[in-house]
């Protein structure tokens, strides 16, 4: 399996999660993944395009929960990877915020056209913020410094020996995934075309960056978007992102 996330580079103008969300208490468990009929690796089994694959898996989840079976393609994913990295000249990964900036300014393909987003930074080791992003916005787009010990784990967890040696952060490499579900024991992402669970301890040890991605495809849908949060309000609060 390929990785492909370069170290975090967070511009100072990217705002933190809205203050109104900071005091909210997340639900005990949320799972947006069950609406998705099938997943695909989107080329991340052969290319270092995890940052782009994670973005399309988020879009796929949004539409699935709106009743639309969107199956993004490897070609679409590699096009986004190429637009936000040195690929295909070099297949050495991309920076998450560069993908998010491109997505917010230019947009990426969806079933109803090319759509843009806004995004907000999260505290990567604050589990409540990650949960709130999943509950309110359908996902959390995160970057993790994977340890070698994760290569043989069915559930990603801190190895018994701790975050040292083969368990050291980044000893395998940097990876981008979307968190799409959680419960009291941990979180579930999609990576290399399949659901993969990680413990709370793993996230606290290895998550380097995290973002809430804001789309009208999610926020405008009655019954999914919280009634007290609207797309126009969020966009007005986040002009610094889209400027």
Higher pLDDT pick, 25 / 69: 69
pLDDT of residue 228: 53
For residue range 211-229, what is the model confidence (pLDDT) as tens digits?
A: 999 888 887 665 666 655 5
- Domains, the chain, ordered by start: 36-242 (3.90.70.10)
For residue range 107-154, what is the model confidence (pLDDT) as tens digits?
A: 999 998 998 898 888 999 999 999 989 998 899 999 999 999 999 999
Count of C-beta atoms within a 10 Å radius of residue 100: 25
pLDDT of residue 208: 97
Q: What is the pTM of this model?
A: 0.92
For residue range 2-35, what is the model confidence (pLDDT) as tens digits?
A: 999 999 998 766 766 655 555 568 899 999 999 9
């Amino acid at each position: 399996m390929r990785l492909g996330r370069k170290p975090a580079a967070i511009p100072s103008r990217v705002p933190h999660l809205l203050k109104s969300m900071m005091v909210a208490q997340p639900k005990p468990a949320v799972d947006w993944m069950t609406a998705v009929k099938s997943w695909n690796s989107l080329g991340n089994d052969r290319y270092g395009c995890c940052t782009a694959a994670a973005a399309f898996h988020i879009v796929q989840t949004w539409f699935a929960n709106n009743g639309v079976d969107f199956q993004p393609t490897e070609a679409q994913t590699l096009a986004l990877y190429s637009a936000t990295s040195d690929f295909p000249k070099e297949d050495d990964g991309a920076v998450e915020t560069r993908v998010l900036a491109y997505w917010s300014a230019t947009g990426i393909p969806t079933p109803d056209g090319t759509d843009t987003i806004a995004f907000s930074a999260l505290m990567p080791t604050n589990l409540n913020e990650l949960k709130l992003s999943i509950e309110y916005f359908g996902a959390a787009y995160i970057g993790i410094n994977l340890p070698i010990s994760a290569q043989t784990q069915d559930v990603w967890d801190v190895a018994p020996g701790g975050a040292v040696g083969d368990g050291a952060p980044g000893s395998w490499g940097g990876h981008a995934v979307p968190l799409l579900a959680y419960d009291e024991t941990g979180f579930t992402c999609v990576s290399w075309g399949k659901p993969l669970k990680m413990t709370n301890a793993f996230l606290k040890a290895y998550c380097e960056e995290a973002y809430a991605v804001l789309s009208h495809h999610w926020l405008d849908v009655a019954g999914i978007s919280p009634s007290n949060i609207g797309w126009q309000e969020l966009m007005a609060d986040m002009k610094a992102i889209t400027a």
